[in-house]
Structure 1
Amino acid sequence: MTTNTQKTQNDQARGTGTMLVTSASGKTGRRVAERLAARGVTVRAGSRTGTTPFDWEAPETWAPALQGADAAYVAYYPDLAAPGAAEAMSTFGRLAAESGVRHLTLLSGRGEPEAVVAEEALRAAADGVGLTVVRASFFAQNFSEGLLAEGVAAGTLVFPAGDTVEPFIDADDLADVVVETLTAEGHAGRVHEVTGPVAVSFAEVAAEISRASGRPVVYEAVPEAEYAGLLTGFGLPAPEAEWLAALFATLLDGHNGWATDGVKRLLGREPRSFAAFAAATWGDAGA
């Protein structure tokens, strides 16, 4: 006898149906959508400006994007630990269940207590929907595509991380993990923690970028309050700047300073190191 759960897993293992990718223009969503499409999966790329309108700040866009989808990659913006995330996950989960979605893969933050609250809200609301949670470490691409890219390009990496180490994960490895959970059996109900292969400090990150690019990049550690002030100076509203600085300071207080074997367990290979990422991104091959 085949249970509904087994049927869901079997369907996903064959990569059948339509898969919604939320935040499809973002660092992870773009990569997930590309990989699914390369496998022949029907991808519904949800974004503010794409062919499938989807905006986390506009809940009225969620149900139409979910309608008819068999699975979805859930990448909440700005972060699953942000104020209001749990409420958003509760609403999204209910809509997913009502729309007949069979599986959700949720991107979460490793070592974020507030993110766990949002995970549980989604799990409770998406009754009958298979859920996989992927908890990721700090992205290596944050230095090349994200908040820190401008400073790195100018030669100064300013951040409230002290001498803490972090096992930065390459977003390409993360995307491969997400696609695995969406297209293979056995991931419903599981939580995967994924990181890079080794933890390095921000000073080491700056040194690797300097080595790869051939130009000096210096790490400058600053207190949380000073970093919030810098973000405000760049035009970020004060409450958002203070929340973001507090999030970074919390994440990088040392409690995440060790690597997991999550990528190897799921993909059968080692994740890419930050040194290899830097060489590919800023070296001759990536320039």
Structure 2
Amino acid sequence: MRIGISGASGQLGAATVAELVRRGSHDIVGISRSPERVSAPVRGRLGDYDRPETLAEAYAGLDRLLIIPTGEMGPGRRAGQSVAAIDAAVEAGVGHIVLMSSAGTRAAEEPDIYASYWTAEQHLIRTAPRWTILRMNYYAEALLQEARMSLAGGVLTGLGENRVAFVSREDVAGAAAGILSSEGHVGAIYNATGPGSLTGAERAALVADASGQPFSFLVLPEAVLRQGMEQAGLPAPIVGVILSIQEKFVQGGFDIVTGDVERLSGRKPRALQDLVREAFSGR
């Protein structure tokens, strides 16, 4: 069976490729706009979402394909890329298309973060003969990066108290590899989540305990949070995305806990407590 990973040189793509290599017995193709970054024994192919003409050849002969959306922030950009990739895969005759999406995805208008995922999901369902969707929760790694940057100030900020089931990138990759390398997933929508959903106060307490420094969760009005990011020099599209994510936190869009990671990967997802402790060990 020939399995393709579209977006193979990105962090999630590379992690999924590594998971598949460990499982063995499959012909793996890494598709990227930088195919030279795909390492043996995986074969690299050029495939650029912004150059749809490259995708037909990149997806040719694949039995299964994982499409990983880019991190493009401009309104409509990521949705357009995903639709182009799906169309190319269908035209190339890929047997089974797996789409990486976001937990909580629902109908929304740009520039809402759900908009591109919803557009891609609906297009996949309408056009692909065999499909699966893997919706991932918010990355634990993103929270850890935010905590490190905020540690000196002593606070983790948000628009309101919330609960999030943070998941590690490796666990998302394990779930994706499980779908790609086994049967029984056609027409399924899975949610890759961590094993528990924690509040802002609870995750701040984890950081305080692991770092040995005072650290708390602080709710700020949107205008104040926006001003702080703008003063820090963040571009307007990035500010908008961060605020949209924070809104989804408060709305409960990432307060989703499932057993899908263990079901698909064969291992329990790592708890945020362990990831935080590991990240701040040896400080």
In which range does the TM-score fall when normalised by the shorter chain? 0.7 to 0.9
**SS state of the match for residue 70, structure 2?**
coil
Corresponding residue number in structure 2 for 1:47: 32
TM-superposed deviation, 1:196: 1.2
Contact 2:73 2:237 in 1 (8 A): no
In structure 2, stretches of 5+ residues that fail to align are 37-44, 107-114
| Aligned equivalent of 2:41 | none
- 1:183 is displaced (CA, Å) by 0.3
Number of corresponding residues: 265
Asked if 1:32 corresponds to 2:12, the answer is no
Q: Give the structure 1 partner of residue 275 of structure 2.
A: 277
Contact 1:161 1:202 in 2 (8 A): no
Amino acid at match of 2:247: A
> Are residues 1:178 and 2:162 paired?
no
Which residue in 1 is equivalent to 2:205?
Answer: 207
Is 2:70 the partner of 1:77? yes
Contact 2:102-2:137 within 8 A present in 1 as well: yes
User: Distance in 1 between the 2:122 and 2:79 partners?
Assistant: 8
> Which residue is equivalent to 1:3?
none
Give the distance between the partners of 1:248 and 1:125, measured in 2 at CA. 32
Identity score, percent: 28
Measured after TM superposition, the shift of residue 156 of structure 1 is: 4.9
CA positional deviation for 1:212: 2.4
1:280 Cα offset (Å)? 2.6
> What is the alpha-carbon distance in structure 1 between the residues aligned to residue 239 and residue 198 of structure 2?
25
1:107 and 2:109 are equivalent in the alignment: no
Report what 1:97 is aligned to: 90
Equivalent in the alignment of 1:10: none
Q: Distance in 2 between matches of 1:165 and 1:135?
A: 17
In the alignment, which of 56, 60, 65 is matched to residue 67 of structure 1? 60
Aligned match of 2:163 in 162, 165, 180?
Answer: 165
Matched residue SS, 1:173: helix
- TM-score under structure 2 normalisation? 0.80
Q: C-alpha displacement at 1:237, in angstroms?
A: 3.3
- The Cα shift of 1:179 comes to 0.5
Pairwise CA RMSD: 2.9
Match of 2:243 in 1: 245
Give the CA deviation at 1:140. Answer: 0.6
Q: Report the Cα distance in structure 2 between the residues aligned to 1:25 and 1:153, rounded to whole angstroms.
A: 31
Q: Check whether the contact 2:4–2:28 (CA below 8 A) recurs between aligned residues.
A: yes
Taking structure 1 as the reference length, the TM-score comes to 0.79
Q: Does residue 20 of structure 1 match 2:1?
A: no
Letter in 1 for 2:58: A
3-state DSSP of counterpart to 1:198: coil
Unaligned segments of structure 1, at least 5 residues:
1-15
